[in-house]
Each structure stands twice: as structure tokens, then as C-alpha cells.
Structure 1
Amino acid sequence: MSEHAVKNSALSSGKRWGMTVDINRCVGCQTCTIACKHANDTVPGVQWRKVLDVETGKFPNVQRMFMVVGCQHCAEPPCVPVCPTGATKQRDDGLVTMDYDRCIGCASCAVACPYQARTIVHKEEFYYGEETVQEKAVAHKDRFGVAQKCTFCISRIDDGLAAGLDPGVDPEATPACAASCITQAIQFGDFNNPDSIVSRLVTERDYFQMHPELGTDPQIKYLCNSPAVPSRDPVDADNNDDTMSN
């Protein structure tokens, strides 16, 4: 069994783990991406946590925002029923897991995922051409030729719960991306607990989910109360070539 499929702690019973991402707070610094790579030792070209640079609207009423994306740990994950071997499963606490030992690399889950959250790596590559001492020490040979994705740092959650810690409150028990976010744009917690920070945020703030029309009910919810960048009405000077050239 792989490290991401073996744990299913009874301590998670009755919980629904998820995240909120405040797009008004995110500055696109990519700290979450680096923290994820460090915590999960992903190979070159593989990012379980990505930050998209998005522009919306039409000039002059435009906005620029940063979207933190990855596995959405959907309440109705389309990747689970298409897996022919049961390598992809959903725990009682909502986390969608991968068992690398069962996966045959058929990519059915990757095709089914509407969020492009899964990657299959067939060739071993290193950051500096040859394997460094660090890469050798943290190598995950079981990830080659199989599907891999964000796990919400499942080992941190399970180990933290076993140690009496509170995921989303105690950094050691919180996914690396949320624990490292410099603006606290990413928050993690139990959506089944009305007193958790994520539950309070989605109650107090407007939010949206990615592709809600698909009925997957993603457990990453994006907070969006106000425009990320304030706009203004155009003035004549905006269209004056002489003004623009000065």
C-alpha cells in the first residue's frame, strides 16, 4: 500500500476536510507551490499546487486575480468510479486518495478529472541533470507510471490528529500550502464543524466553486466579496495619443 492510501484514521470520522482561498488576499507569490513541492518531493515539471494568473472583464473594467488550483477533493469525485482497480478512493472524511500499488497508469482518472489535477510521469528526471543526494534521499519510485495528485497533505493531517493536533489550526497538522501562505489567503479546516475557520468564512463571505455545473461539489471554495483590483471610468485622456506619448 502507498503512503497516501494506507491511513484512514478513525479520528477523521464525521469530518469533511476542505479549503477556502481568498482571491482578494492572494498575491501570486507561489509560496504555496514551493511549499507543496518541498513537502511532497515532486519531480521537475510536476506541481500538485498551482497558481493561475487570470484576467477577467473588458478594458477599462478589468481585473487580475490569482487562482490557487489543484485536486479539489470533490464531494462527488468523477475520478473514483472510473478507476478500474480501486486505486482511487474517497475516505469518509472526503479526502480523495491514491494507492500507487493498485494503479495501472491507465489515465482514466486523469481524463475524468475536469480540473486537470492529475499527472502521470513515465520518465525519471532530476533538477540538475543527475540525481542529487537530496533527491536520492526523498525519491518516490512508486510514483512513476501511475497517477499522482494533491492529497491535502494527508499524512500531516492523520499524524497531527493522532498527536492531538487540530488541522487548520496547528501548522504541523495543516497542508503545507495553507500553513505557508504569507497572506493567509489559503485556509484549511472541517466544513462539518460550524466553528472552523473555513465554515465561518463561507458563511460570512461570498464564494464560488470551480465548474459547479458539473455537480462535483469541489471542496476548495474561492472567497470573492469585492473586486481584486478597483476599476475606474475612462476619461478622454485615456484615448489621447499625445497624452499617452508624454
Structure 2
Amino acid sequence: MKKKITAIFLCVALVAIAVVGASLAYFTDTKSATNTFTMGDVKIKLDETNVTEPTGDRVTSNAYDVYPGAVVTKDPIVHNVGKNAAYIRATVNVSNWMNLVAACYPDFKETFPNDGYKAALNLLVGELGEGWSVVGVEAGDVFTIGQFDAKFILKYDGTLAAGADTTAMFQTVTIPAGLDNASAASFDEVKVVAQAIQADGFDTWEAAFTAFDAK
């Protein structure tokens, strides 16, 4: 079966702060042709190894022929191609993942008694790269095939300097060995989204992305 696992890149940063009383005004610019959103001069690029030509240029999406138990290369890296240091956040969105965890990993709660749903990402991608951690997870509210997607929220420690790259978020994706035809149709995408906001003006990653989410 052919599964499409895509990497989408998103860039948002503060371009200006207009102080009027106690209010802040954020200005944005959208470049839909390249799926890049910019806000000021914080710009990022997200890419991964081309699985059909591993020694060639990195790409923003891959399509895989997979089977139960397959391990495929997926190593998303964020590049700061702007002029300002930035805080970095990413989301890993997995279709029907929490449902598949329940079906394919019956010992999940015993194996990860204190980590909750955050640890469910490790079943898919193994260890995260240095500097990356899961700080939240949002999941669907209906426990049925196709309606229990998961969005894992990842934090990259510290700030990413202009011209610098993050470590790879992870290196591989492992297809559940217990995946059957009935559930395979709903497990069709792993989508990675990277977000950035300028570091100037924020003391912490948390404060920066509170402002990001409020824009």
C-alpha cells in the first residue's frame, strides 16, 4: 500500500509591535505558493531525506510502499534561513494513531504508566533527536477507526540561531506490526509542521508560543 508521509513548512515571526495603550499588533504575510508563512524576517525551512534518492537533495515530502512492521526513513530537520534567532515548535500529526495504539500495543499503559499519550509517539518514531521533547498531545474524541487522530506538540530547546539547523526530530517511522487491512486505510499520513517565532522580546519558549497562538 502506498502511504504519503509529508512535511509541511510554516514560518511565523514577529514583524512589528505597535504599542497603542496596552495592545500589540502583529502583522503577517502569507506565501501560499510555497506553503510558507512569514512574519518579519524569521524564516525557516523544513525538509527530510529523499527516500528514493538518499544522497540527493532533501525534500519536503515522501511517499512510501509499506507493510506491517516496516521501518522507513523520516528525519525532519528545521533550518533557520532568516536573519533572526528563533524559538522552534513542531507538530507531528498522525491519522488514527491513538486507535491503532490501543489495537496494536495492548501493553501500552503498563509499559508507559506515567507518560500518558505523550509516549505514544515513541512507538511510531522511537527516540526523539537531541533537543526535542513532547510537551503536549491533542487527540480525537471519538474512539472509532478514522476518528482518533493524534497531534503531538514538540518543543526544541533554546533558540535556533540564524543560519543554524536543528537536529533531526527523529530518524525513522515504524509501521505497527499488527496493522491489518481494516485499520490500514485510516492510517495514511504522518504530517510534520514546523513553526518559528523570533526570540527577541521573549524570555522563554513558552512565552513566545503563547504570543504565537494568540496572534
Whether TM-score is above 0.5 comes out as: no
* Bigger radius of gyration among the two: 1
Query: Normalising by the residue count of structure 2, what TM-score does the alignment of the two structures yield?
Result: 0.26
Q: TM-score with structure 1 length normalisation?
A: 0.24
More strand per residue: 1 or 2? 2
